[in-house]
Amino acid sequence: MVHAPVRAPAGAPKLRINLYSDTQTRPTPAMKDAMMRAEVGDEQHGDDPTVDALCARMAALTGKEAAMFLPSGTMCNVIAILTHCRKGDEVVAHETSHILHNEGGAHAALTGVQILPLVGPRGMFSAEAVRAAIRPRNRYAPPQRLLEVEQTANIGGGAVWPLAQLNAVAAVAREAGWATHMDGARLMNACVAAAIAPADMVAAYDSVWLDFTKGLGAPLGAVLCGSAAFIDEAWRWKQRLGGSMRQAGICAAACLHALDHHVARLADDHANAQALAGALARLPGVRVETPETNLVFFDIADTGVAEASLLARLRARGVALSALGGRMRACTHLDVTRAMVDEAAALIAEALAAGP
């Protein structure tokens, strides 16, 4: 499931079109300027006004009581599960979830929970699947504490959970006495695509986080949101896992800038993804999944060209993609223009036409 890092072969030209991931975005000049002008202080003591402003804004945006600034989304997931659960508890999540496949075994190593994988198309599962996963409450079964969803569903093709389905699976979890957690790495992509306010999208979830290093283009940072009691306890885990970031306002300023300037423009990334998908769908032997957001997954098995060969040919022309679980993935973001998308599509066609 995990895509390998971008490594240029010897003699490869400089990377010109980076469709590998939206994590490859670089801060804009305006974002850098905002970072340099940030008012800072000691974040751990609540003395960094820029961090405080970001957390207050994120709590309001998600309709939660409090929020906490962290370096990464993976840390948000780990700390959220450590806060919701105890060792030996069970978390119910999709079989392709990030917590199961892309966090280095952190939950086995650090949280001590086991993850029960549910199946379902496009990285999602139904309320019926959640209900069927409920275990009897006895000493033989692990205590089930948490339902986890991923919005958007990455391996599901960047698919957007419909709000009714999100609420339905959360309702079953609540009936069972579980907490609910949303991995909101690309939450704003989902909100823009579905035209739903973040607070409405996450209302049924006890905790949620947003990653600022993907489509929002910040160099680092994610914000975990929840009740005041949840965030207070989560701070203890933040301390145990490394403590505060001190004058973190310089990074929080980038996130605030992203909220002001990079949210509405996510629609441009979605349009570029649609354009790329349309061009790829016209190529012989290529099967393309219609994108809902900024991720374009396509299958080249019928072309006779190996994934590694396509990646190498494109990298030799200054273009980067990724391969995940038998599919190719292209990711549009603020550093990818429509002209780049058109050129990438042409180069992909050329690389596939060269044959095995």
- Interatomic CA distance for residues 213 and 75, integer angstroms: 13
Query: One fold for both 17-26+265-353 and 38-261?
Result: no
Of the candidates 5, 320, 285, 329, the one whose C-alpha atom is nearest the C-alpha of residue 156 is 329
- Distance, in Å, from the CA atom of 266 to the CA atom of 188, rounded to the nearest integer, reads 8
Q: Tokens representing 312? A: 């190498």
Nearest Cα to Cα of residue 113 among 152, 157, 67, 144 = 144
**Domain definitions of the chain by residue range:** 17-26+265-353, 38-261
Q: Are 141 and 172 in contact (CB under 8 A)?
A: no
- Per-residue pLDDT of the chain in tens (356 residues, 90 and over written 9): 445 545 666 777 899 999 999 999 999 999 999 999 999 999 988 899 999 999 999 999 999 999 999 999 999 999 999 999 999 999 999 999 999 999 999 999 999 999 999 999 999 999 999 999 999 999 999 999 999 999 999 999 999 999 999 999 999 999 999 999 999 999 999 999 999 999 999 999 999 999 999 999 999 999 999 999 999 999 999 999 988 888 999 999 999 999 999 999 999 999 999 999 999 999 999 999 999 999 999 999 999 999 999 999 999 999 999 998 789 999 999 999 999 999 999 999 999 999 98
What CATH number labels 38-261? 3.40.640.10
Q: How far apart are the C-alpha atoms of 222 and 224, rounded to whole Å?
A: 7
The enclosing H or E element of 83 equals helix 73-84
> In Å, what is the CA distance from 295 to each residue of 58, 99, 117, 150, 193?
25, 19, 23, 14, 12
Of 270, 263, 286, the closest CA to residue 336 belongs to: 270
CATH class of the structural domain 17-26+265-353: alpha beta
Task: Provide the whole-model pTM.
Answer: 0.95
DSSP state of 153: B
